Amino acid sequence: MQRVNERLINWASIIEPATLAQAEATASLPFVYPHLALMPDAHLGKGATVGSVIPTLGAIIPAAVGVDIGCGMAAVRTQYHRDELGPDLAGLRTSIERAVPLSAGQYNTVLTDTAAKRVQELTVVAERAGFDPGRYAGNWALQLGSLGSGNHFIEVTADETGAVWLFLHSGSRGVGNKLAQHHIRVAQEAMTRWWIRLPDPDLAYLAEGTDEFWAYIRQLRWAQDFALANRDEMMDRVVDCFAQWQGGPVRELERVQCHHNYTAREKHFGKEVWLSRKGAINAAAGVPGLIPGSMGDASYVVVGKGNPLALDSSPHGAGRNYSRSKARKTFTRDQLREAMAGIEYRDTDAFIDEIPQAYKPIDVVMRDAEDLVEVRHTLRQLVNVKGD
C-alpha cells in the first residue's frame, strides 16, 4: 500500500504513470472524501481510473461509475468433481454458445419463460422509477440473458479440491451503456452551464439535490438490477446446458454474485458518502466476492476483510497491462494458443486482445490485495466462452 498523497492511496504495485496521474486528478476534486482508493488492478479508464473507489459528498461522477453499469460476476459451485466430467468439453462449449447470445449487438430473438418473468419485474421497477428503458434501447428486454464481448466470459472451472464451478462475467449490456452515456452528457452540459472547469471533461458531475442527480440515481439502480437479472438468467441457462451435457441434475451448493461498476450509499470515516466502485468490488468484512484473472489464468472466490483505508473494497480482476490495440500489435494467435493450452475455447484471432499476457499477472494482483480479501477458493478454467 502506497499513500501517494492525502487524497490518494494506491494498492497497485504494477501501475503506469499516466494511470496514477489520472487517479490523482480525480482525487483532487473538492467533493471527494476522505480519499480515493486505487485497487491493485488499476489501469486507465474513461475519465476516472478503472480499479478506483471514489467516495463523494453531495455529487456523483457518472463516468466514474462507468458505462457498463452493474457489471459484475456470478459463480455457482456444483456437486460435481472434475474427474466426473465427460471428455467432450467442446460439445459443452458449443452448447453454451447456442444457449447464450454472444458478442456486441447479439441478443435473444424470443424471451424464455424465466427471462420474461425477469423483464416483467424490471418493467415494474422502471415504472416506479419514472422512466422507460425503451427510451435508451427499444429491444432492452431481448438483451436480458446475453453476454456481450470484450472481457466478458462464461467459464466452467474447477477449484483446488476438484469441485466444478460455473462462472460468468457480464453487465447491463447496451441499455446500460446508452443510459450511462446519456447521464454523462447531462453532467457535461451542467458543467458548461455552471462555468465549471475540470481536469477532464469526463469528470463532469451531478450535484445532489438536483432533478438530474436523482434521475441518474433512479436509473442507475434500475441498470444495476438489470445487470444482476442478466447474470442470473445466463447462469440458469449455463446450469441447464451443463446438466444436459453431464446427463444429470445440477445441485447449486453455493451461488456468489457481485457488482463492480456501481454506486452505493455507505458510511466511511464518519460520514455518509456516495461510494462509486469503478472496477472494484465490495470487500466489507465477511462479504463474499469473485476476482477473475484473464481467460487463461486462475480466478478466485474471496471474502472481504473490511479494510477501512480501502473503503471496504478490493480489485475486480487482473486489470489490463496492454490496451486492446497494443495487444493486437504485440501478440499472435500462436501465442494465444500456447497460453490457452489445456483449456477448451473457441480458437480465433478475435481473442488476441484478450490474451492473458495483455493483463497484469493475477498472482501479483492478489498479492497486492492480501490485506483486502481472504482467498476461499482458487478456480482453474476447463472451458472458456467469449464473444467476439
Whether the ω angle into residue 62 lies within 30 degrees of 0, i.e. cis, is no
Return the residue matching grid coordinates 463516468.
Answer: 63
Return the residue matching grid coordinates 447496451.
Answer: 174
pLDDT digits (tens, 9 = 90+) for 346-368: 999 999 999 999 999 999 999 99
Report the percentage of the chain scoring pLDDT > 70: 100
- Residue 204 φ then ψ, to 5°: -55, 140
Per-residue confidence (pLDDT) for residue 316, from 0 to 100:
96
Per-residue confidence (pLDDT) for residue 18, from 0 to 100:
95
Contact (Cβ atoms closer than 8 angstroms) between residue 123 and residue 131 = no
The mean pLDDT value for 295-317 works out to 97
Per-residue confidence (pLDDT) for residue 384, from 0 to 100:
97
Structural domain total, the chain: 1
Kindly indicate the confidence band of residue 162, based on its pLDDT and cuts at 50, 70 and 90. Answer: very high
Asked whether the predicted pLDDT for residue 388 surpasses 90, the reply is no
Asked whether the predicted pLDDT for residue 245 surpasses 90, the reply is yes
Establish whether 316 is a catalytic residue.
yes
Catalytically annotated residue among 35, 152, 183, 316: 316
Kindly indicate the confidence band of residue 163, based on its pLDDT and cuts at 50, 70 and 90. Answer: very high
Asked whether the predicted pLDDT for residue 74 surpasses 90, the reply is yes
Kindly indicate the confidence band of residue 291, based on its pLDDT and cuts at 50, 70 and 90. Answer: very high
Kindly indicate the confidence band of residue 30, based on its pLDDT and cuts at 50, 70 and 90. Answer: very high
Longest dimension (CA), the chain: 65
Per-residue confidence (pLDDT) for residue 104, from 0 to 100:
86
- Domain extent for 367: 2-385
Per-residue confidence (pLDDT) for residue 112, from 0 to 100:
92
Per-residue confidence (pLDDT) for residue 14, from 0 to 100:
95
pLDDT averaged over every residue in the chain: 96
Per-residue confidence (pLDDT) for residue 47, from 0 to 100:
84
Contact (Cβ atoms closer than 8 angstroms) between residue 8 and residue 36 = yes
**β-strand partners of 291:** 300
pLDDT digits (tens, 9 = 90+) for 134-154: 999 999 999 999 999 999 999
Kindly indicate the confidence band of residue 46, based on its pLDDT and cuts at 50, 70 and 90. Answer: confident
pLDDT digits (tens, 9 = 90+) for 89-119: 999 999 999 999 998 889 999 999 999 999 9
SS3 of 329, please? helix
Report the run of H or E that residue 190 belongs to, with start and end.
helix 173-193
Q: Where are the beta strands (DSSP E) in the chain?
A: 2-5, 8-10, 36-43, 50-56, 59-60, 72-81, 153-158, 163-170, 206-207, 254-259, 261-268, 271-278, 280-282, 288-291, 299-304, 313-315, 373-385
Contacts of 100 (CB under 8 A, 6+ apart): 145, 146, 147, 154, 234, 237, 238, 385
Per-residue confidence (pLDDT) for residue 359, from 0 to 100:
95
CATH number of the domain that 204 lies in?
A: 3.90.1860.10
